[in-house]
């Protein structure tokens, strides 16, 4: 049986990758921060390794005996995430250390979940680190698959809370389009890509929405009695210099938001679930 090691298993996408990999018959081991995280996936696999992925020593020989590595690691872009490690620490340094260990231990395939159009926004930290690791992976000599979604549905869960409080707002015109993908749909593509040879795939959801439409779908389902508000993009932008000085992590997230709000980010339409159906599913009593 092919042995697969999954990083980022406790995240929304990682859990779905674990489920699909187990269903497809892979001998799955997950890497988690603590045993409590492992228990959340106990119905999928009982094999786990506890490791602090920001500590290089904890990753030494972690890939020993595995045929495939999938990394769904990534620092959350949620403003509510106040963890200290930066995008660089997680998305570039930790993944680089994992890749180094995978090479040293003869891993045959490395699947990495990157970011759509990361090569276009190298001045934004979030995109720079995704792009740099992708380039490192390509040049490593290991067989690879790089998956690049514009966003996953669960990235919008913070907005559900804001909608309930009447604090959901559109930034700028909200007319730029995107097609986020359901994490379960993306997980299928990630696991299926194990059979690819040195591939890079951009993968989006079934339907295309404007940023305003996404907010309106959430507000209508979560709390229709309240309305979305509007904040000018320029007002959002002027907060960046202050954040850069006093709250670097938050600055990097807001810089990411400003970038994606000003451009269409439409990937090939591969996912099956529509965003409105996902929102209904998540808000169902």
146-189 per-position pLDDT tens digit: 999 999 999 999 999 999 999 998 888 999 999 999 999 999 99
Question: Does residue 160 fall inside a structural domain?
Answer: no
**pTM summary value:** 0.94
Quick check: is 57 in a domain?
Answer: yes
Rounded distance between C-alpha atoms, residue 84 and residue 72, angstroms: 19
∠ at Cα 81 (162, 76), nearest 5°? 100
Write out the residue range of the structural domain in which residue 34 sits: 3-152+183-202
Residue 258 CA to residue 254 CA, distance in Å, equals 6
Strand partners, 32: 50
- pLDDT, one tens digit per residue, over 52-84 is 999 999 999 999 999 999 999 999 888 878 788
Q: Cα–Cα distances in Å, from 7 out to 31, 212, 222?
A: 5, 33, 32
Which CATH number characterizes residue 146's domain? 3.40.50.720
Q: Compute the half-sphere exposure of residue 54: CA atoms within 13 Å on the CB side of its CA.
A: 11
Domain count, the chain: 1
pLDDT per residue as tens digits for the range 33-47:
999 999 999 999 999
Nearest to 53 by CA among 97, 115, 116: 97
Instruction: Calculate the average pLDDT of the chain.
Output: 94
């Amino acid at each position: 049986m092919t042995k697969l090691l999954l990083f980022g298993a406790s995240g929304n996408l990682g859990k779905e990758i674990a489920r699909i990999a187990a269903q497809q018959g892979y001998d799955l081991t997950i890497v988690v921060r603590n045993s409590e995280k492992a228990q959340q996936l106990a119905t999928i696999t009982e094999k786990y390794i506890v490791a602090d992925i920001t500590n290089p020593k904890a990753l030494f020989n972690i890939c020993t005996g595995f045929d495939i590595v999938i990394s769904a690691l990534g620092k959350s872009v949620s403003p509510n995430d106040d963890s200290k490690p930066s995008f660089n620490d997680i998305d570039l340094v930790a993944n680089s250390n994992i890749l180094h260990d995978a090479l040293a231990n003869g891993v045959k395939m490395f699947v990495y979940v990157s970011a759509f159009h990361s090569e276009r926004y190298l001045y934004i930290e979030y995109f720079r680190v995704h792009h740099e690791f992708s380039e490192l992976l390509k040049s490593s000599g290991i067989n690879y698959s790089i998956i690049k979604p514009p966003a996953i549905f669960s990235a919008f869960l913070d907005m559900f809370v804001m909608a309930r409080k009447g604090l959901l707002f559109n930034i700028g015109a909200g007319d730029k389009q995107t097609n986020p993908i359901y994490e379960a749909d993306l997980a299928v593509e990630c696991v299926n890509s194990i059979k690819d040879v040195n591939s890079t795939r951009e993968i989006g959801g079934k339907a295309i929405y404007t940023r305003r439409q996404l907010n309106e779908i959430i507000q209508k389902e979560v709390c229709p009695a309240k309305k979305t508000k509007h904040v000018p993009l320029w007002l959002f932008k002027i907060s960046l210099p202050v954040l850069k000085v006093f709250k670097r992590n938050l600055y990097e997230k807001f810089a990411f938001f400003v970038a994606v709000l000003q451009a269409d980010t439409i990937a090939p339409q591969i996912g099956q679930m529509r965003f409105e159906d996902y929102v209904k599913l998540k808000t169902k009593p």
